[in-house]
Each structure stands twice: as structure tokens, then as C-alpha cells.
Amino acid sequence: MMTDNTPRFATLGLLMLGIATPLRPLFAQCPDGSPPPCSRAAPRPAIPPTSLAVLYFENSSRDTADAYLADGLTEEIISRLSEVGRLQVKSRYQVRRYRSDSMENAAQIGRQLAVARIVTGSVRRAGNRLRVTAEMVHTSTGDVVWSERFDRADTDVLSLQEELASAVATAVTGRLLPAERRALATVPTRNPAAYDAYLLGRFHWNNRTAPDLVQAAAHFERAIRADSSFAQAWSGLADAYVLFLPAEYNVPGIDPDSILSLAEQAARRALALNPQLGEAYSSLGEVLEYRLRWTEARAAF
């Protein structure tokens, strides 16, 4: 039965509905969480055709101790390729989570790293010989656009790195310029024993445990004894000494002042030997930061 109140409630309901409807946009939000009006999403920038990522090479040797060689080879190739100005090369820190032996879909990695090409490879030691295989994949198609195999004596790691980096750079650019060839041919040391010790030092340094850091310092010191002009080994020694300090690594028997003094000496020695060595400035910056010399640290970084 209709009462006198029925139209009144119906009208009130319609009024409330009419009021609520225009208020909805006031409580809405854009996909990015911001309030309206929503801006149109910016298009993703195009991936440069000369961009690439070198993923850490797989150690195919029977001896797992050779993992340091595969990692060191990868990092040196990344470092050398970054000297070629026409290439956009991802740093070792950006590719660390990717491995050649567990590579995801090439297109997915290409999107994540924003690169047009991916280089993968493997290293196998057999006696005193090294066999390195490498290939380059175009991330948009998954097609292999370059591949090569290198068979060298294990004492020829330095020349192998130069040859491999040059082959990768040529596969991307088509032809290297004279200055690019010179940059790729630059070697940090000509002493194979010093370089092998340096690679071992970096491998243990990357593991970031107290025993590994002690071993890293010992390997860097061995590299320096083999070649006292090896700037990267001095920089590595500074990096190892600095990581003796954090409590999380718990390296025993450390006097902070003495270790920081030795670390600063090592970093400055590296820069005296090679004033263009970027990693040595980074090493020095870390030391100065621990010594609370902020202005000098900032200048080094």
C-alpha cells in the first residue's frame, strides 16, 4: 500500500543516486595511482640497434674451479666493449642475474635490459687448451646473427679476449674504426700469471664472504708481485681491503685505520699507474667515504 512517505523516499533515493553518480570520478585514480585527469602513458623509447648485453659465460670445464675464468673472461669483454663509443653495453652489475646456461627467452631479456642483442658463450679447459664458443642473438627475432669458436692455449687469455671483443664489436658495427681497434687492443698487463691471479682475485671478491675476501687480497697481491705496474690489480687490492671492514663479512683481526691506510695507498697507486682507470677512482672513493672525507670521496666518484 502506498503511503504519503513513499514518493518522498523514492525522490530522496533518486536524489542520492544523482548526487553519488557525479561524485564517482572524484574518488577515481589513474593507473599510475595519480588523481585524474590521467595523462597518456609515454611510449617506451626505442631500443638502440647497437645496444647489447654480454651474459656471463658458462663454465663447461669438468673442474668447477675454472668458473673464475669464465666470469673473468665475461667481465673483461664487457669492459673492452664499453670502450667502443658506438656501442651501448650493459655493465656487469646489470647482467649479473643472467647466466648463459640458464638463459630465459631472448625477447624477454631484451625487454628487461633494453638491448637489441645478447651475447652468450661457454668456456672449456682441456689440458693446457681453452675452447671458447660465443654467439649473438637478436632479441626481437631470437635469430642467431653471429657465432664463432676460439681454440687457444690457456696462456693466451689476454689475446683471446681482444680477439673475441673485436669480433663481437665488428658483428654489431660492421667495421671498426682505427681508434676503436686501438681501444680494444689495450691490455691491462702482458704478464699471463699476473692476469690469472687478478681474475682469481675478482672471482673471490665477488663471492663476498670473509674467507673469499682474504683469498681475493692474496691473489691481488700475487698479481702485483708478478707485475707491479698492473693498475687493475692495485685497484682490486684496495677493493678487497675496504670490504674487510663491514661487520657482515666479519674478517677477523682487522685494524680499521691500518687497513684503510693500505687501501688508500693501493687505490692511489692504481691511479698513478693509470690516471684514466675508472674503477680506481671508484676504489678511492670507497676508501675516502669510510674515512669520512666526504668532499674528496665525492670528487673521486
Q: What is the pTM of this model?
A: 0.75
**Pairwise CA distance, residues 83 & 260, whole Å:** 31
Length of the chain: 301
| Helix, strand, coil in percent for the chain, rounding step 5 | 55, 15, 30
Reference 121, options 78, 57, 26; nearest CA is 57
Per-residue pLDDT of the chain (301 residues; tens, 9 = 90+): 445 555 554 444 444 444 444 444 444 566 556 677 776 655 667 899 999 999 999 999 888 888 999 999 999 999 899 989 999 999 988 998 887 555 568 888 999 999 999 999 999 998 889 999 999 999 999 999 999 999 999 888 888 999 999 999 999 999 999 999 998 988 899 999 999 999 999 999 999 999 999 999 999 999 999 999 999 999 999 999 999 999 888 888 889 999 999 999 999 999 999 998 889 999 999 999 999 999 999 999 9
Longest dimension (CA), the chain: 105
**Pairwise CA distance, residues 236 & 68, whole Å:** 15
